[in-house]
Structure 1
Amino acid sequence: MLSTGGSALIAKKLGEGKEREAREDFSFLTLVSFLFGIAILLIGNIFIEPIVRALGSTDALLPYCVDYLSVSLLLAPAAMLQMMFQTFFVTAGKPLIGLMLTISGGVANMILDYLFMGPFNMGISGAALATGIGELIPAVIGLFYFLFTRHSLYLTKPVVRFQVLKESCFNGSSEMVTNLSTAVVTYLFNITMLKFLGEPGVAAITIVLYGQFLFNALYMGFSMGVAPVISYNHGSQNLPLLKRIFKICIGFISISSILITIMALVSSPVIVEIFTPIGSATYDIAKTGFFLFSINYIFAGINIYSSSMFTAFSDGKVSALISFVRTFVLIVLNILLLPYLIGVNGVWLAVPAAEFMTLFLSVYLFYKKRDVYHYL
């Protein structure tokens, strides 16, 4: 919420030539983000077992959930800063640095996963620590970069402007809704799968959702990368370039959606095998589910981009509407309805159905707002 909503406001101010104000706002939002991380660390650890049980953990899963979450919560401030800097490196015109830090964190995570869970025999806590260190690396390096460089955007003495915080929260509410909805939807997937297929079903849906993160990463990364460019040109009123950017984005998303969908459908058995061996109950469930679930990628790209684009225009209301309808309302309705109409396949088709329905809303809002932001 703070990173995407704030970056749109700050990129717009940079486009308007208000560089000092942009730096002060960036510093203020970074401080607020860090303090939120501290609050999550404290509250989460105090109420960790009730939280885990409320999210549907069985007695068999409870110790693993508590072990993983307790370590993750200790590094919550780093997770907050990592997300902030990942977005603001793009706003600062240094997307390559942000990309390299994100990759380095991911590679460190993978290597440490093996070391902590394998030779060091740290179990599920080791996996959580590996993830946390993977977030800590870009957070610390990003902090040093924005503290000690002096380009257009860097950390300075923060100036408390609650109006900026309010606008950032409102403007970034769509991204907040997307992440909160993911948590709620994961909970619904888990309890539905427990009912239909037991704990192997929960493992299978987890594999499929990992696949979703993998394939949606292109849409998310592209939308995040192009958003500051849209905000900057919106702020400077460079309408010809804004129209050109929109056409390029729609073309790229359309072509990549087809390619990603084909790739996901074809590679579904291989991806599932990475997580669980052939012949296991989880593999058989996940293989079928992954194939059906992959239909959603043909529609998801446009929906993700449309929400991000309106965030870039500082139109948090429209952006939040798309995200809320896409990631919460329609998915929840489909999860609750489809399994009782067509059985377990309804669980896998809930997301494709929701993405398909949201596509009509995205296209409608593209058309409705064309004269407001002049991208057509």
Structure 2
Amino acid sequence: MSNTTTLYKEQNRIFQEMAPLKLFLRCALPNMISMAVVSLYTIADGVFVGHYIGAEALAAINLVMPLIMMSFALSDMVAVGSSVQIAIWLGKGDEKMAGSIFSSSCLLILLSAVVMGAAAYAFAWPLVRFLGASGEVAVLAVRYMRVYAAFSIFIMHFFAVDNYLRICGKVHYSMAMNVGMSLANIFLDWIFIGIMGWGIEAAALASCLSLMAGNLICFYPFFRGKLLLRFTKKLIPLKMTGNIIANGSSEFFNNISGSVCMMIFNAALLSFGGYLAVAAFSIIMYVDSVVKALMFGMADSLQPAISYNFGAGNPSRVRAIERIGQAAAFLLSLAVFLLMQTLGETLISLFSSENADLMAMSIHGMRIFAFSYLFSWCSILSGSFFTALNRPVFSLITASCNTFIFPVVFLLLLSGLLELDGIWLSSPAASATAFLLALIFLKNTYDRLNVRSS
């Protein structure tokens, strides 16, 4: 029996035969830990920058971070769309097509990295000025962004290879690499900023060096040819590339719209509260990044199993896996809400304890923002669920409404009435509205699965 056949049978046993709760624990917990630890590298930047460089540097990073995330949007789109197709073809037993999709997607991500990195470096100043930054904040923002742009071709695949490792059952390997990368980033932040006293570029450099090392280590098993997915010279047809892009469009729009939405929020914050309000919002977003990482880690980890069982014609198992994920996401969100209401000051003091105005503004904003977690879990899990079932329209609408349309609408409505408090309230209001929309789409999807199973 060949090694590939053995790997395929093991993957079949895990995705199709393992009890749904046990499957959830096996797939979700390592990935949630992995994603949460990965988010620590951005938090480490915030902690060291806030304590050693100052509030202006915090504001600069928050202003430019949406642009950096937009540069990774194409990579995420290809990664998510290709992962669904790979899992579906593996569910059908076609390993050669899965390998072709994997190879073509890696090439496509490399091309996007070249284009996005060059554009970000060349147009850094016009982009930062477009965001409304000026003076020292603008200078710091450009210096931070250009480091990421220079390293783009070395780090862009990192967010995709994690998906491919999970498909091949290497969840613990993936988790170990993510934890190692994050710890390396924190160590480099300490060396570069805390000990050597370097400026804001050091925070970006620490992140990029860690991501580059993690990227190389994650690809090592694929280069050895020992996993279910292997590099091939055969590229996929143009029509399938279009399907990958369409199915990953919700992730792309989620990244793009989330980044554009962040720019709009930053502009409103500058208008109503100045750079101090932007710094307060950045602290809340640092904490939020860990929570969202746990949510998306949970959702992404279930995608291969859901897509695999959907491709294998097992809708009842698809429903069971998704319901466990939704229940776990709700419990996590409730715990985070209570944590932010009771221990918000402790969390915020990690980033800034000397600026009393910044502390007060951040605590007040966090307590209002925390109400969004009572609703946002459903949209996050549902959007991933629709993607896994190859329903890109539902996934795209859910993502766009949750991350852009509803937040911007409520921002415009509430900030005009309540000013800064209206900005904080816009996120809970948007999450509650997106929650209702997700329930409607979930009912339609479950009805279709019921028809398929009958």
Q: TM-score range by the shorter chain?
A: over 0.9
Q: Deviations over 1:305-339 (max 9, x none)?
A: 00000000111111000000111100011111111
Tell me which of 23, 27, 38 is aligned to 2:99: 23
Q: Which residue does the alignment assign to 1:269?
A: 345
Q: Deviations over 1:228-259 (max 9, x none)?
A: 11000000012332232122122222222212
Matches within 5 A, 1:149-298: 149-298=225-374
Residue 65 (structure 1) aligned with residue 117 (structure 2):
no
Matches within 5 A, 1:140-155: 140-155=216-231
Counterpart residue identity of residue 208, structure 2: G
TM-score (norm 1): 0.96
Aligned residues: 376
Structure 2 unaligned blocks of 5 or more: 1-76
Q: Deviations over 1:11-67 (max 9, x none)?
A: 000000011110111011011101111111111111111111112222221111111
Distance (Å, rounded) in 2 between the aligned partners of 1:189 and 1:265 = 23
Q: Which residue does the alignment assign to 1:48?
A: 124
Counterpart residue identity of residue 197, structure 2: N
Question: Helix, strand or coil: the match of 1:61?
Answer: helix
Counterpart residue identity of residue 239, structure 2: Q
Distance (Å, rounded) in 2 between the aligned partners of 1:277 and 1:177 = 36
Distance (Å, rounded) in 1 between the aligned partners of 2:231 and 2:218 = 11
Deviates more, 1:25-34 or 1:158-167: 158-167
Deviates more, 1:359-368 or 1:245-254: 245-254
Matches within 5 A, 1:76-91: 76-91=152-167
Residue 305 (structure 1) aligned with residue 346 (structure 2):
no
Distance (Å, rounded) in 2 between the aligned partners of 1:244 and 1:132 = 39
Counterpart residue identity of residue 260, structure 2: V
Distance (Å, rounded) in 2 between the aligned partners of 1:276 and 1:235 = 50
8 Å Cα contact 2:344-2:366 kept in structure 1? yes
Distance (Å, rounded) in 2 between the aligned partners of 1:262 and 1:78 = 40
The percent of aligned pairs where both chains have the same amino acid is: 27
Question: Helix, strand or coil: the match of 2:350?
Answer: helix
Distance (Å, rounded) in 1 between the aligned partners of 2:426 and 2:283 = 16
Distance (Å, rounded) in 1 between the aligned partners of 2:313 and 2:206 = 45
Cα offset, 1:279, TM superposition: 4.6
Residue 116 (structure 1) aligned with residue 205 (structure 2):
no
Tell me which of 167, 184, 202 is aligned to 1:126: 202
Distance (Å, rounded) in 2 between the aligned partners of 1:95 and 1:266 = 34
Residue 315 (structure 1) aligned with residue 381 (structure 2):
no
TM-score (norm 2): 0.80
Distance (Å, rounded) in 1 between the aligned partners of 2:220 and 2:313 = 33
Residue 371 (structure 1) aligned with residue 447 (structure 2):
yes
CA RMSD of aligned residues (A): 1.5
Cα offset, 1:278, TM superposition: 4.8
Counterpart residue identity of residue 122, structure 1: W
Cα offset, 1:9, TM superposition: 0.8
Taking a change above 3 Å as real, the CA distance of residues 288 and 158 of structure 1, as seen in their structure-2 partners, is farther
Distance (Å, rounded) in 2 between the aligned partners of 1:200 and 1:247 = 42
Structure 1 unaligned blocks of 5 or more: none
Taking a change above 3 Å as real, the CA distance of residues 244 and 170 of structure 1, as seen in their structure-2 partners, is same
8 Å Cα contact 1:105-1:133 kept in structure 2? no
Counterpart residue identity of residue 60, structure 1: E
Question: Helix, strand or coil: the match of 1:320?
Answer: helix
Counterpart residue identity of residue 282, structure 1: L
Counterpart residue identity of residue 282, structure 2: T
Q: Deviations over 1:182-204 (max 9, x none)?
A: 21121112111111111111100
Cα offset, 1:102, TM superposition: 1.4
Cα offset, 1:158, TM superposition: 4.4
8 Å Cα contact 1:16-1:235 kept in structure 2? yes
Question: Helix, strand or coil: the match of 2:385?
Answer: helix
Distance (Å, rounded) in 2 between the aligned partners of 1:359 and 1:242 = 21
Tell me which of 76, 80, 96 is aligned to 1:4: 80
Distance (Å, rounded) in 2 between the aligned partners of 1:296 and 1:112 = 34
Distance (Å, rounded) in 2 between the aligned partners of 1:3 and 1:139 = 14
Distance (Å, rounded) in 2 between the aligned partners of 1:104 and 1:247 = 32
Distance (Å, rounded) in 2 between the aligned partners of 1:141 and 1:135 = 10
Q: Which residue does the alignment assign to 2:424?
A: 348
Deviates more, 1:110-119 or 1:18-27: 110-119
